[in-house]
Amino acid sequence: MTMLEQGTISIHTENIFPIIKKSLYSDHEIFLRELVSNAVDAIQKLKMVSLAGELSGEVEEPKIQITLDKEKKTLAISDNGIGMTVDEVKKYINQVAFSSAEEFIQKYKAGDEQPIIGHFGLGFYSSFMVAKHVEIDTLSYKEGAQAVHWSCDGSPTFQLEESSRTTRGTTITLTLQDEEGEYAESARIKQLVKTYCDFMPVPIELDGETINRQKALWRQSPSSLTKEDYLEFYRYLYPFQEEPLIWVHLNTDYPFLVNGILYFPRLKPDVDVTKGQIKLFCNQVFVSEHCEEIIPKFLLPMRGVIDSPDIPLNVSRSALQMDRTVRKIADFIAKKVADRLKELYRDSKEQYINCWQDIGTFVKFGCLNDDKFKKQVEDIIIFRSTAELNANAGSDTPAVEVQSEEGDVWQQVNPPSNSAGGPSYTTIKEYLERNKERHENRVFYCTDEVNQSTYVQLHKNQGLEVLFMDSFIDPHFISFLEREYQDVKFSRVDSELDDKLIEKDKASEIVDPTTNKTRSEQIKDLFQNALNKPKLTIRTEALKSDDAKGTPPAMVLLPEFLRRLRDMNALMQQQELSQFPEEHILVINTAHPMIQNLGNISQGSIIQGEGQSPSGELANMICHHVYDLALMAQKGFDAEGMQNFVERSNKLLTSLTERAAGV
């Protein structure tokens, strides 16, 4: 072997290798990604040279081969790409392409707190993080080129010699440091290739086996892919997960290059919506599990892949957030997601509605955080409704409005809710239009279908439509809706009673001549004396119903502004809802038979000595029980209140059973 040159890499780089080992990459394993990336680049460059007609002879099938020797602790990566000449080795390897170590730090180090992710082109030097000796054996594609052998032991000293290599391409051989022996293990290398190099467009071989997929689905045309293609890719990326709801295929080359596939997963209660699960690639090379700076934060729970060479990878997070290209990419992604949702709403409403419980959270969160996104999706926000919207369609389809292409003209269409005739869904605009004659500019809503079921049924019985706003984000979204619809009053079903729910004709009420009070006034006095709560407002109303037994005997109302103040305080203090406010309203339903019977029991009671008669005590206990049941629907009990309720209930039931048994 003839010595061509011996020297030092650069007079300014005495400290370059310690810097590489400590500052270049956050993980040592990244070296494999960098070396394989360089090998792919060499193969791609050879292809370009061949297409330009500058290559004599045939181009072999591209291939990267990894060879391990566990005994010698060596790892070699070979490609059949473009190769290097002596001058190119001197230029790209010896000079490190920098004038000094200081400039190297300034340009590529992101700071102590945030190491740089990686910068392709410097990749060769990452090998010194794990190797004590590195060799390059290369032969250029150029006619008459001399094969070259370069070696370095991690100091600024290198050796450049002639090589006996006869095949075009490059082999990088690492003699591993003693503590880095894991990288001579086949299983470890296979794992790293799958992580970082799985979608590189060149086959990577180890032990005679191709170990990477090569096929990057996101780089293919959507028209060439089937539903099963997308689902199979999702299963590969996220094994053992439920299948995604829908997906968005990103593909743009102006004003920046972005490809990718994003999936809407089913949201689970334990999902951390602040951490992204989208994989970031650069030219099919895996870079990071986290895309928090690139993805709008309301889309972070999405999954999938984004691939872009235009994202600046070698800057800190704070700088990345301020980068103009990154902001444009984030806006582009949000728009593409909105376009996909509108397309689904327009073309497949049944699927849209079936997905709404999950995708609705994304949409609402997006509206709260992004005005551009809000304008794009505001007409496809739907809510489950108590109205039988499918009746006029002759099938199980709710009526949903869409905006026509001409402008603000709204057209009613009839999408199927689901094949089994499930719940109906509507937009706010449709709700307001449909109920304009009954209660103009007013929306009744429910946030807890179970605990507020009594109130909902009361509204339904009187033909009042109620919307369900019961997702965890809806308390914030209702405030957003009130800003959007400033003339509309949003009333939770348990905040007040609409006039249509109340029988207003009290002229027929008989006045008791002995007390000069109506029956309603007597019942009110009975509850006030029994409960003895000065801050409690007690009202007596006759609730409308075809069957009085089907209405609640009493209801607790908490005015909208008081409830929101309570919710806000709990949110600000980051704790559970505070104690139920003492100032609230108890509505006694005088039309209910139990309340009427209670009045009769009270009238029949007589005072005995210093205490009440058994009838009076029973009436008192029933008043407490009626109030407790009404309060329970508002989740108004703390631990002590629940204990008192159980004790009073047992006492009441004991008294009733004694009466029934004639004790």
pLDDT in tens, 363-415: 998 999 899 999 999 999 999 999 887 533 333 333 343 333 444 333 333 34
- Which pLDDT score is estimated for 160? 93
Give the chain's residues under pLDDT 70. 1-2, 7-26, 95-122, 268-274, 312-323, 390-422, 505-509, 515, 566-579, 603-612, 636, 663
**Residue of 280, 293, 295, 301 whose CA lies nearest to 199:** 280
Amino acid code (one letter) for 350? E
Question: Which pLDDT value is given to residue 208?
Answer: 93
Q: Which of 369, 365, 415, 366 is nearest to 395 (CA)?
A: 415
| Confidence at residue 583, expressed as pLDDT on a 0 to 100 scale | 84
- pLDDT score for 334: 92
> What's the pLDDT at 398?
37
Assign 503 to helix, strand or coil.
strand
Q: Dihedral (C-alpha) 458, 459, 462, 466: value to the nearest 10 degrees?
A: -150
- One-character DSSP codes across 378-423: GGG--EEESS-TTGGGTSS---EEEE-TTSS-EEEE---S-TT---
Strand, coil or helix: 247:
strand
Instruction: For residue 566, give every residue at least 6 positions away whose Cβ sits within 8 Å of its Cβ, in sequence order, or none.
Output: 558, 577, 578, 581
What is the per-residue pLDDT for 282?
A: 86
Helices (H), ranges, 71-116: 86-89, 101-108
What's residue 390's pLDDT?
52
Between strands 157-162 and 204-206, the pairing is: unpaired
**Residue 45: CA count within 13 A, CB half-sphere:** 18
Contact 63, 80 (CB under 8 A): yes
Per-residue confidence (pLDDT) for residue 209, from 0 to 100: 96
What pLDDT, on the 0 to 100 scale, is given for residue 216? Answer: 94
